[in-house]
Amino acid sequence: MDAAEFIWMDGKLIKWEDAKVHVLTHSLHYANAVFEGTRAYQTDKGLAIFRLRDHTKRLLKSAKMTVLNCKYTLEELENAQIELLRANKFKGNVYLRPLIYLGYGIMGLAHTKAPVNTAIAAWEWGAYLGEEGLKKGIRVKISSFAKYAPNSQMTKAKSSSNYLTSQMANYEAKDAGYDEALLLDEEGFVAEGPGECFFIVENGELVTPPSDNALLSITQDTVIKLACDLGIKVRRERLTRDQVYTADEAFFTGTAAEVTPISNIDNRIIGSGERGEVTKRLQDAYFDVVYGKNEKYASFLTYI
């Protein structure tokens, strides 16, 4: 990670190296924190944040689910992200990480008397799964770790606690020589990647699992909208492991992953083993939107 100049912390711009918390910060011990992943792209009109309002709304919804009483409004958090990007004067594409967490002051499981802090970091970041992966696809392993059931965790919250399973699944996959993992739910149906939504192409149609126990994805929503524009039918259906193995194409979507083709799952070649035609069409359409080249979706961009 390349350091930037400033991080926004509780209303102030702090030097990157001075943005610190106490070792007894409550969230560090008990995992109650929520965050967002948002991207900003260098367009022909300058740096622009993609779907800023939608990401910031989801951050505050996650905080409400986990009883983190953030003192900042939606508009204040949006303005803070804009302020941070202006202050850092980035030259490339940027990843933003807003975080609402419980700070230093008390210990023990009871959290409502702990101070609620908010921080926003941003740094220049390229393709999450590699530039080569965007073109040729990645290798994926179905994980031995299952996605949380809705009655065991708040699966609609983008919370730090939810990501331990994601971290372990990702580690397991990479340790076995793959690029990323794919998690099943408690009933054995495909859920999502550690930090991505999953799509297959079947007979020219897109299929993606329902969000029964997965985060409501902003990138997934964008891709579904673009598929409709391109005349590609989209089905929201449960997917089995064997159905995935025989897909014509497969890909991940997410703020970090963008639209990343999948060439191999559990050593089964997917389609031709390269980025498929439908995946490429959607990938091109997605990048047209985030780089400000599709006027229909101009409202998705907040220029800095």
- Identify which of 128, 150, 132, 40 has the alpha carbon closest to the alpha carbon of residue 86: 40
Sign, Cα dihedral of 37, 156, 171, 16: positive
Catalytic residue among 135, 147, 158, 174: 158
Active site residue 61: no
Catalytic residues: 158
